A and B are shown apart, each in its own frame.
Chain A
Amino acid sequence: MPARRFIVTVVADRCKECGICIALCPKNVLEKGNKLNWKGFHYTVPARPEQCIGCRLCEYNCPDFAIFVVEAEAAKGETVWARQA
């Protein structure tokens, strides 16, 4: 069976840099970014999406509805903004 692939999406303007998703991810997919969002938090970036196994520990433990995981043809890390100027 071919390996399953996932798109990991961070909603940058909701992330509060709590680090819970980064600490819980078993595959080291996520890391603290070096850019700030409009609230002054270094939002998480899905740096290594090809390693994601789709366990959704990040999604289920994020207190801010700021990260989610969707199965897809190809692995991808996305950063999106809910609020667009």
Chain B
Amino acid sequence: MAVIRNIHPLDRFLRPERLPHMWCPGCGIGIALSAFLRAVNELEEEGRIDSRKIVFVTGIGCTARASGYVRFDAAHTPHGRAIPYAMGVKLANPDLIPVVFSGDGDIVGIGGNHFIHAARRNMDMLVIMVNNMIYALTGGQVAPTTPEKIYTTTTPWGNPERPFNAVTLAWIAGANYVARWSVTHPELLKNSIKKALLMEGFRFIEVLSICPEVYGRHIGFRSPVELYTHLRKVVKIRGKIRPLETEYDWERGITLGEFVVRDEPGFVRRLMEVVKGGKA
């Protein structure tokens, strides 16, 4: 029997016996997961979070496989259903900290309705949407987040659809926190996750990611370094702008930043208020 050692500083949050993970060489999902684990690690070292309270929920897709590699209580749920599962976790035990970590197809494609209603309710959870702009696990079909004109296996002449800008969607639906980052800037992402983990209500962080295997390959960036370097040129960090001013376009650019920070009461607090106020 092979002996597996804990080596990397984040190994205490991982299941090293399952590594190397299934993601392709240079896949950005691992960079996003690493930023999340560093955020948890730092908050715990600062005495601001108990990582045992985190429940890590994923749907279906390449990104969603993350639930199998982390050493939290975790759930790998049906496609699009990570948010309702996380909602159940929070309502059953409001002490827990549900974190949804899943793909763009999972969150705003098949799971889109759950997404807008969880945001509308200001449901207490952190949603990290790893946006590789494609349905990757199933071989590279167009997603609701695929930018215009991009070649995918189902848009052989380029994508004719208008994509969702998930930032505006989360804002208009009522999320307490909305930010968009990129795997090309992992420290900014980590800082944003640290902030959002400690807030109440619905917090949404979109992370632009690289999928060299299916997204990159079809548009001429087959190597991870090429796609990473190109994405770094596509993204533009902007401070203090409103969600409606953000761009989401592969040619003109994709805006990164923190766009909404509100402290409206989350669903659990609102629920407790009506229960206490009622005559039952």
A residues apposed to B, CB below 8 Å? 9, 11, 13-14, 16-20, 23, 39, 41, 60-66, 68, 80, 82-85
A20, B34: Cβ atoms closer than 8 Å: no
Q: Which residue of B lies closest to A56 (CB)?
A: B187
**A62 with B31: CB separation less than 8 A:** yes
The answer to whether A11 touches B34 (Cβ under 8 A) is no
Do residues B186 and A19 form an inter-chain contact, with CB atoms below 8 A? no
Closest 10 CB pairs of A and B: A63-B30, A18-B26, A16-B25, A18-B25, A18-B224, A60-B186, A23-B225, A65-B8, A83-B2, A84-B3
Q: Please tell me if the beta carbons of A65 and B31 are within 8 angstroms of each other in the complex.
A: no
Say whether B186 contacts A20, CB under 8 Å: no
Given contacts A62-B34, A65-B11, 7 further A-B contacts (CB under 8 A): A18-B224, A19-B225, A23-B225, A62-B30, A65-B19, A84-B3, A84-B4
Q: Which residues does B use to contact A, with CB under 8 Å?
A: 2-5, 7-11, 14, 16, 19-21, 23-31, 34-35, 38, 183, 186-187, 190, 223-225, 228-229
Task: Select one of A20, A61, A64, A85 contacting B20, CB under 8 A.
Answer: A64
Min CB distance, A58 to chain B, in Å? 11
B209–chain A nearest beta-carbon distance, Å: 10
Judging by beta carbons under 8 Å apart, are B228 and A20 in contact? yes
> What is the CA–CA distance of A39 and B21 in the complex, to the nearest angstrom?
12
Residues of B within 8 A of A18 (CB): 25-26, 224-225
Q: Given A65-B30, A65-B34, is A23 in contact with B229 using a C-beta cutoff of 8 Å?
A: yes
> Shortest beta-carbon distance, A30 to chain B, in Å?
13
